[in-house]
Structure formats: structure tokens, C-alpha cells
């Protein structure tokens, strides 16, 4: 009858011969086949053969493959054996599933290793761009041409309220989708990654252009002193070292060597909507950065103030204390977003609305390069993983260095005497930017 589950032909009442060592009986093979697959009678001469393929890593569910067989039960058994062989040989794998299932599985895999801001950024990109377009599309239907057309659409109207999306933003969308698809290849859900051959927009690293002058930073430091005693120290140290916001928020007194005039940057703070997490630096490297004598004096005076406050509270300042903290004992660091908010208020009060907190880092790098400090040293102080990053961001400063080099060479060449074949040392006319 249709709908009845059939496990095999009727068993004979006669006893079966024992199985010899090293051989598998036909009944044992059928038992294994029934364990991994089944035969279901659907009609008078119609059977459904169903075989377990494996666990789908993208959905964490059991996957099956089924076939309809027209004929006898024996024909269905033959088809069952054939399907089992194909699964064993890898010819049939768990179903590919949808792009959305894969992206979500990849995200769950990566989330524990991501910082809170990156988690928020990835989640926003997935929800706003990837899932609405590709969530229900089968992995096997994803084509390179479709991706390229999608990237073009994002560039025109992929932003908020249908506005254009920048090339950098589209490139980030591509990077997440590419990573998820690559994981699908490793999991065996798809044989290729269509994003490999896609053509996301080319991005050009934006060069830093600062309009603020040295006097503007001096005004900001003076104004910051009206907020609290620590904020001008933070801004001064950011300018003197080029350290990132999170790196200075994570700085502890044990990392400050006033005698040698140096700070040790080994950690950073990252902030999400509801938490602050201390982690490795952006490049997972530890670096020592020296500071000038005046900055050292400012830091020393600030530490004296903090220690006096602790003494008045009948306590001591531990080495583990954070340098920048609202607490007397320094046990809780400043939130990175607090620094940004405080800086923006000061900036706005002074009419420097275009200036950002991160521009303190750019100002530090620009001043070093403008005064002839070599790129390797600048890159090391900034904590760039490669000097090429420094060159890309501050390429315009290299032009000034090139001009100074030309002036120096010109001065030297002017001192060459063709009659004596000797060099007369002359002072360079090259100017150093103050």
C-alpha cells in the first residue's frame, strides 16, 4: 500500500549460516544500508529511496538525498546501493544551501575572534546588504556576473535612503561575502568561490590633509585643562607619540617610564554599544615610543597630582592603575568614546569643527615626516604593520622630503670645482618645516 514503510523483503524462517571471519554477509550489508538509508513504497510500482548524506556545516542539520524508482522493490534496493556508493565516494555531498545560511554560519564561526566594533560593522553589512539580496539564493546559482552587477548597483544607490555607497564601503561588503564563500569551499558546500573572479570597485587610499595649525592644537590643550586635569595630558601625549585613542585609554602606569622618557604600548581598548574590551593592539605588536622632555614633565606633574589624590583618600596608586581614569585609584579606564565626545565639544567651542580626534595622530606623523624623520621610524612609532602603509597614507609628505633632498643635492653639486676636481662643502639652502 502507498505510504507504508518497507524495510526489505520478507525474512525466511530458515536459520542463516554463520558469517565467516573477514567477510560481511549480505544481511549485514543490508542492515547497514537500512541504517544509512531507507526505501519507502509510494505506489504500486513506485518507491522512494532516501540516503543520509551528512551534517550540513552551514545549517547544522542532517542532509538527505532521495530518488524515486519505478519498478520492483529489488530495483529500489539496487538504487539504494548505488546512492550509498556515491556518498561514500564523495560524488554526493551535503546540499549547498543558500547564501544566507552560509553567511550566517561563517559569521557565527568568526564572531568570537572579532572585536566589538568589528562585530557591529560585520552584522550591519550582512543585514543591510548581503541578506536582502542573496539570503534566499542557492549557492549553486550565484554567478560572477550577478555579483558585478550588484556592486555597480550598490555604488549608485546602496547607501542610506538610496544614496550612493562609496567604493570603500562596497569593497568591505565584497570582503565579507568573499570570506563567507571561501569558507563554503573549505566546507565542501561549493566547488568554487564566485567572488574570486568578481570585480569590486578599486579603492584608493585617502591621503591625509590637515588644515589645523600648531597654534590650534595649543588652543585645544589649553581649553581641555578647563574640563579636567587629565584631558590636556591625553591630548599632549597623543600628539607627542602618535598613539591611537584606544591605545592611550589602555595605558597603565606600569607602561610609563618617566626616567627613560618612554611609554610601552601593548594593549588597546575597543568599545561597543554596551561594553569596553581590552585586547591586543591593532597589529598585535608591542612597541616602545619615546616622548620629549616637556611631555615627560607634564606626565610627571600629572602623576604627582594623581598620587596626592590617592593619598588624600588614604590609598596608594598601584602600577596596574590606568593612566587615564575617572577613579582615584585608576582601576577603571576612560571609555574611548568619552575621549572623542570631550574632544569634539572642545573643538566645536573653538570653531575647529573639521578637526577629529584621530587627526592628532595624523598631525604627529606629518610633523615627523616634515622634519625629515625617516619613514621606518615614523612607521614604527605609529604602530603600522608595514612601512608601505605609512607611505600610502602620507605620500604627500614624501614630496616635501623629495624637495629637501633635491635642494641638498643641488647645494653639494654647486660646490664641485671642475678645475681641481674637488668638492667645496656648502651649506644647504633646504628649508625645514617647523
Mean pLDDT of the 282-296 span: 93
pLDDT at 412: 60
Is the distance from CB of 245 to CB of 383 less than 8 angstroms? no
Mean pLDDT of the 208-228 span: 86
Per DSSP, 205 falls in state P
**22 or 38, which is more confident:** 38
Which sign does the torsion angle of CA 400, 403, 405, 407 carry? negative
Report the mean per-residue pLDDT for the chain.
82
Is the distance from CB of 65 to CB of 87 less than 8 angstroms? yes
pLDDT tens string 113-165: 888 888 889 999 999 999 999 999 988 889 999 999 999 999 999 988 889 99
Contacts of 269 (CB under 8 A, 6+ apart): 246, 249, 250, 276, 277, 278, 279, 333, 335, 336
pLDDT tens string 221-272: 999 999 999 999 999 999 999 999 999 999 999 999 999 999 999 999 988 7
| CA 61 vs CA 57, 92, 286: distances in Å | 8, 16, 43
pLDDT tens string 164-205: 999 999 999 999 999 999 998 888 788 789 999 999 998 766
pLDDT tens string 128-138: 999 999 999 98
Amino acid at each position: 500500500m502507498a505510504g507504508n514503510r518497507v524495510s526489505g523483503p520478507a525474512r525466511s524462517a530458515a536459520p542463516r549460516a554463520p558469517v565467516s571471519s573477514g567477510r560481511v554477509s549480505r544481511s549485514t550489508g543490508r542492515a547497514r544500508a537500512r541504517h544509512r538509508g531507507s526505501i519507502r513504497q509510494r505506489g504500486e510500482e513506485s518507491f522512494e529511496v532516501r540516503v543520509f548524506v551528512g551534517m550540513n556545516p552551514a545549517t547544522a542539520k542532517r542532509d538527505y538525498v532521495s530518488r524515486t524508482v519505478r519498478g520492483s522493490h529489488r530495483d529500489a534496493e539496487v538504487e539504494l546501493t548505488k546512492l550509498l556508493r556515491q556518498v561514500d565516494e564523495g560524488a554526493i555531498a551535503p546540499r549547498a544551501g543558500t547564501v544566507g545560511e552560509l553567511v550566517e554560519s561563517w559569521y557565527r564561526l568568526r564572531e568570537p575572534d572579532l572585536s566589538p566594533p568589528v562585530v557591529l560593522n560585520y552584522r550591519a553589512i550582512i543585514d543591510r546588504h548581503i541578506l536582502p539580496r542573496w539570503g534566499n539564493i542557492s549557492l549553486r546559482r550565484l554567478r560572477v556576473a550577478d555579483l558585478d552587477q550588484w556592486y555597480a548597483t550598490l555604488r549608485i544607490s546602496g547607501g542610506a535612503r538610496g544614496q550612493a555607497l562609496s567604493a570603500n564601503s562596497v569593497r568591505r561588503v565584497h570582503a565579507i561575502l568573499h570570506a563567507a564563500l571561501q569558507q563554503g569551499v573549505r566546507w565542501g558546500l561549493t566547488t568554487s568561490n564566485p567572488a574570486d573572479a568578481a570585480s569590486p570597485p578599486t579603492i584608493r587610499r585617502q591621503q591625509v590633509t590637515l588644515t589645523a595649525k600648531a597654534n590650534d592644537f595649543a588652543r585645544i590643550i589649553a581649553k581641555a585643562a578647563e574640563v579636567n586635569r587629565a584631558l590636556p595630558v591625553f591630548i599632549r601625549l597623543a600628539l607627542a607619540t602618535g598613539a591611537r585613542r584606544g591605545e592611550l585609554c589602555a595605558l597603565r602606569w606600569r607602561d610609563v617610564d618617566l626616567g627613560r622618557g618612554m611609554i610601552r604600548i601593548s594593549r588597546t581598548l575597543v568599545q561597543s554599544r554596551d561594553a569596553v574590551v581590552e585586547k591586543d593592539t591593532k597589529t598585535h605588536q608591542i612597541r616602545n615610543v619615546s616622548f620629549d622632555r616637556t611631555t615627560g614633565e607634564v606626565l610627571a606633574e600629572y602623576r604627582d597630582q594623581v598620587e596626592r589624590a590617592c593619598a588624600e583618600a588614604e590609598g596608594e596608586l598601584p602600577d596596574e592603575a590606568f593612566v587615564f581614569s575617572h577613579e582615584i585609584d585608576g582601576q577603571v579606564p576612560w571609555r574611548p568614546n568619552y575621549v572623542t565626545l570631550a574632544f569634539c565639544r572642545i573643538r566645536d567651542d573653538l570653531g575647529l569643527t573639521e578637526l577629529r580626534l584621530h587627526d592628532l595622530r595624523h598631525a604627529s606623523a606629518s610633523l615627523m615626516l616634515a622634519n625629515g624623520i625617516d619613514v621606518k621610524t615614523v612607521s614604527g612609532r605609529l604602530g603600522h604593520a608595514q612601512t608601505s602603509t605609512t607611505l600610502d597614507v602620507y605620500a604627500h609628505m614624501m614630496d616635501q622630503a623629495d624637495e629637501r633632498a633635491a635642494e641638498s643635492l643641488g647645494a653639494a653639486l654647486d660646490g664641485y670645482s671642475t678645475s681641481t676636481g674637488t668638492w667645496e662643502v656648502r651649506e644647504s639652502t633646504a628649508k625645514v618645516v617647523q
